[in-house]
Amino acid sequence: MPLTDFGLDELVDYRPQSAVPGDFDSFWEHTLADARARARAGEVRVQGVTERFRLRTVDVDDVRFPGWNGAAVAAWLLRPRGAEGPLPVVVTYLGYGGGRGLPTEHLFWPSAGYAQLMVDSRGQGHDTPDRGAGASEGTQWAEGLMTRGIEAPETYYYRRLITDCVLAVDAVAQLPGLDPARMVLAGGSQGGGLTLAAAGLCGDSVAAAMPDVPFLCHFRSAVQISGEGPYVEVAKYLRWHSRHRVDQTLAALDYFDGVHFARRATAPALFSVGLMDPVCPPSTVYAAYNHYAGEDRSITVWPFGDHGGGYGSNPPAQLEWLDGRGLAPKP
């Protein structure tokens, strides 16, 4: 697979100008204020399910917390058995098109001594449907979810999903055995974009952020240059509505751009990028990275990496990075 974008020498200085909507901050302040008001009417529910999965070294809880419109969002809470808490916790967001799956798929972080909250993606798995207020508004023209409600920021799908991700951060304080002061946000692809969004919206609540090959960044360029993956859904939509919806659609996407969230995020951050990534072209990743507001930021570059980035080599790099910031579990 060849390089899909600029070379590394150009990427390190790539800082495109992008116009932030004038009401970007107020849009999200009002969105989250309303969501939190509705969430207070619900409760965080925790049910132990370890025995169901026959695990001996990891304890598993099935968690439900109030998300968008107060509806329950599913998550797995995994903790190393016998560890003395409170534990640092990695709140993990998922890639596009996948739900939380089974807890047996998510054993890396508890094996390394961390707690992990694996957050389901509404409408993408089976445990958190995308329904209720807001979900039925707007259209979904192309396959997938990228165009659901895309006519306006108020109805766009990612308004609901990003709100869920922020409320997952809020829920950590109500879960057993966790240290909210050592909360790390992480995820790859869509999960990387959601990590940036939650880091930008949650401020000092976040101790560190680790967005891998992040999606949802630099939309205006990504939908033009990406050859594979979810950005193509938007390109298909605009192909058929190009005469009257391009400006409207791109203006709506500006409210969900990881570049704009990165400008508001201050937690220490470790990015990763694959220079041969056809799904999230490296320039879109660097657009967010080079605009990231936090002073403690670094990026792991995989020169021959595709959308899988560093694959199995990336988690050990993350462990080393977290240890260097005092976020490793106590021995």
Catalytic residue list: 189, 277, 307
Question: Tell me, what amino acid is at 1?
Answer: M
Sequence-distant (≥ 6) Cβ neighbours of residue 307 within 8 angstroms = 189, 213, 228, 229, 274, 277, 278, 279, 280
Of 100, 101, 41, give the one whose Cα is nearest residue 65: 41
Q: Count the alpha carbons within 13 Å of 291 in the hemisphere toward its beta carbon.
A: 25
Contact 16, 221 (CB under 8 A): yes
Long-range contacts of 105-112 (CB under 8 A, 24+ apart): 106/76, 106/78, 107/58, 107/78, 108/315, 109/78, 110/57, 110/58, 110/78, 110/79, 110/80, 111/57, 111/58, 111/80, 112/319, 112/329
Of 256, 303, 277, 161, give the one whose Cα is nearest residue 213: 277
Tokens read off for 33: 């204020």
